[in-house]
Chain A
Amino acid sequence: MKKRLSILFSLMLVLSLFLSACGGFKKGDESTGEKGKSGSKTANVPQELHINIKTEPFSLNPGLANDSVSGNVLYQTFEGLTRIKDGKPQLAMAESYQVSKDLKTYTFKLRDAKWSNGDPVTAKDFEYAWKWALDPKNQSQYAYQLYYIKNGQAFNEGKAKAEDVGVKAIDDKTLQVTLENPTPYFLQLTAFYTYFPVNSKIAAKNPKWYTNAGPDYTSNGPFKMVTWDHNNKIVLEKNENYWDAKSVKLTKIEMVMVNDTNTELSMFNNGELDWAGMPTGQLPPDSLSQLKAEGKLHVQPIAGVYWYKFNTEKPPLNNVNIRKALAYAINRKAIVENIAKGEQIPAMAAVPPTMFPENKKGYFKDNDVEKAKEYLKKGLQELGLKDVKDLPPITLSYNTDDLHAKIAQAIQDMWKKNLGIEVKLDNSEWAVYIDKLHSGDYQIGRMGWLGDFNDPINFLELFRDKKGGNNDTNWENPKYKQLLIDSQKETDPEKRKEMLKQAEAILMDEMPVAPIYFYTNTWVQKDNLKGVEMSGLGDVQFKWAYFE
């Protein structure tokens, strides 16, 4: 037997020799991963961060990006006129700005900043980037993020010329922006990646500058991209040309693309990652309770809501009392504690508490079965039905996902027990599902919504127009609509907030949606990692991060 075993081992040896001879790996900085860590015995802690970003970003051109993966890379490599810190916009590429009285014209003075290749960052780079994204000839999916700019939408729809768009480089250091409406959250928007500048000199020379790392991929943020191994990893290094380079302590960020929650956590436990979970990755839902019990779990509320949409044109959901009965009869606390388990906040309002702190309480009581029964009775009467048994079964739709399925089953059970309503479940794959919802082919459907910038309008304007793209509920209310339209023109922030609150109250009274919970970010991280900036929107910035 010994002889056989030695045959086996020699076979394996030959095999491994053969395989190593085959090669097949991309040369690059292969050695860095392990070496960087073993060198930690020196007095200085290596300032290298290893995180997971799950998948390949759709695009690292700020004008083309339309997903959070790309966003979380771009926030490290690029910088807009402003940057969000502690939830508020801070001056970044802009050194100062002036606003006209009607709040429609912003004049930004740019600071002396350089691109990663040493070119100066000019006002023209902003003008170029914004107009490029708005140009209908380019395939920007997020061009509508720039519709706040005067004639932005018209240009994108081919109804105006590029010259008409309200962004202009007066000189190298002065950028003038004219808006359609006074937009009180405009300085929030300028921190969003669609508003980032692009090195116009390079883009003019090489239209494909953004597809790979290399000399043409220049950026103006705290980090520059040195490696982009597609579908595998992205390596960022400190950008010495960054204007605020002295604040940047990390020398390197390695972003790997592992799209498996269990593997991600294992890698963290094995010391291969310094951070696992949101916002760049994800923890396995089943691990949350254990991690929490061990005191390792970090939780932060973010501006997002998980809700059920009612198709208000399909009976019996065209009846407001039935909708209210369904919404009131949900035990949100039980769902959060037993199913979602990420310390989400039960939602009895539409706008997350990160924007309206008073919404932690909400507009009604969670699990208010008594009230729900009253509304049901009223609703049935209005529909001309004697008993809940005469109500045909309602279909509840959701897209394929363990969590959505569990929540749907729980709510199906609650509605049956509390109200006696029969509910059928209908599961479909994501693209099929989204098509169903957008075309109104559903009765009740789940959806999540995350804010793009820190303003309640994000959540409220969804329901402004019946055919507004993302409404899906087919609900429209003239008073609600008017309040939102008026709020756009209101220059007094207090008055504006009052209007938005009124609008939300209407929404919660008419109930085209039943909020379930407000999202949180959950993650684990190395204890000696400090200074990571997480916004209430769930973005992450490593500009100020460091290892202690």
Chain B
Amino acid sequence: MLRYISKRLFYMLMSLFLIVTATFFLMRAAPGGPFSSEKQVPPEIEKNLNEYYGLDRPWYIQYFDYLVSVAKWDFGPSFKYKGQTVNDLIDEGFPVSFFLGMESLLIAVSIGILLGVIAALKHNKWQDYAAMVFAVIGISVPNFIMASILQYFLAIKLGWFPVARWESLQHTVLPALALAATPMAFIARLTRSSMLEVLSNDYIRTAKAKGLSQGQITVKHAIRNAILPVVTYLGPLSAQILTGSFVIEKIFGIPGLGGHFVTSITNRDYTVIMGVTVFYSILLLLSVLLVDIAYGFIDPRIKLAGGKKGE
């Protein structure tokens, strides 16, 4: 187990190094710079600015400096937000994105599994159809449209929630729902099909024959086995929810990190682009690793030793 994890960590470092390098060079290759604007700054001022931010030094020195600062977890000052460092932006933005992400993940997983289980137990009955219509809507409606729909009905028409902003728990409900809709629907479908498969197995029939109630069978025997595909999906899902929330963050005016992920590129805010990319990469790599480790706990047939799963 330890060997497996250390090996995985080593690969993670290698991937990170490649990501940092690729981002650095791609970014510099893009036309335009952090100081180009409609009202062009006089060349002398641009020279001062380049000097101030060290952009006048040769690329290999900048690259090397950058590697060193990343290793020290110091991403430097933002070019656009004067007086703020990239670390400030991450420290302020990430907890918000994380909170929103966790809330939607919880909604997606709990309601998704619940719907899937109900649909499987009531196979080909109205509950099944209802749950699956719900799932199809969830999958086919993009989250930014879902956001507008929720805003219109739940906030403006019914007045249950505020339209946007990040102030109280009430403010988080709509964005979390909008973000959760698609994965929730996906999880419901995933759970339903794997539940159906599990329910047709012999050991379920045995359990039934033993006289166990439907509830006991479902909870003790079926769900545990049916949930494996959902866990597999959790890694990429958490990654997707954490990085993909920028549209939702924009629509709801949420001060998360997702916004910086996009606007820093438009702004050519080099240090922010780099910092946020590195930060998200670490997050993604970690979440994938965590899911792989979680496999071993849920399904003892999967061993993590030797670096290959499923041996």
Contacts and interface: CB of A to CB of B under 8 A. Distances in A.
Contacts of B127: 1
B196 interface: no
Contacts of A55: 263
Contacts of A438: 36, 40
A270 interface: yes
A66 B82 CA distance: 10
A269 B156 contact: yes
- The interface centre, meaning the residue of B110, B118, B148, B165 with most chain A CB atoms within 10 A of its CB, is B165
Contacts of A436: 31
Contact of A447 (B38, B52, B252): B38
B5 to A, nearest CB: 28
Contacts of A435: 31-32, 36
A55 B80 CA distance: 12
B169 A430 contact: no
Given A59-B83, A139-B82, A266-B164, A15 B107 contact: yes
B89 to A, nearest CB: 8
A293 interface: no
Interface stretch (B16-24, B66-74, B93-101, B276-284): B93-101
Interface stretch (B41-49, B187-195, B225-233, B301-309): B41-49
B255 interface: yes
Best-surrounded residue of A16, A231, A267, A432 (most CB of chain B within 10 A): A231
A137 to B, nearest CB: 8
B251 A260 contact: yes
Most buried by A among B32, B52, B111, B250: B32
Interface stretch (A20-28, A337-345, A349-357, A475-483): A20-28
Q: B37, B92, B114, B152: which has the most chain A beta carbons within 10 Å?
A: B37
B99 A144 contact: no
Contacts of B35: 141
A56 B45 CA distance: 24
B253 A259 contact: yes
B152 to A, nearest CB: 8
A392 interface: no
Given A61-B83, A156-B45, A272-B165, A434 B253 contact: no
Interface in A49-75: 55-56, 58-59, 61, 64, 66
A531 interface: no
A246 interface: no
A154 to B, nearest CB: 10
B48 A470 contact: no
B259 A470 contact: no
A153 B263 CA distance: 32
B173 to A, nearest CB: 8
21 contacts: A4-B118, A8-B111, A20-B169, A25-B169, A30-B168, A56-B81, A139-B48, A139-B53, A144-B42, A232-B165, A232-B166, A260-B164, A263-B251, A266-B152, A269-B156, A431-B30, A431-B267, A431-B268, A449-B38, A469-B43, A470-B38
Top 7 A-B pairs ranked by shortest CB distance? A431-B32, A258-B253, A231-B255, A59-B82, A211-B83, A232-B255, A24-B99
Interface of B: 30-33, 35-45, 48-49, 52-53, 80-84, 88-89, 92-93, 95-96, 98-99, 102-103, 106-107, 110-111, 114, 118, 127, 148, 151-152, 155-156, 159, 162-169, 172, 250-253, 255, 259, 263, 266-268
Interface of A: 1, 4, 7-8, 11, 15-16, 18-20, 22, 24-25, 30, 33, 55-56, 58-59, 61, 64, 66, 136-141, 143-144, 153, 156-157, 208, 210-211, 229-233, 256-260, 262-263, 266-267, 269-270, 272, 429-432, 434-436, 438, 447-449, 469-470
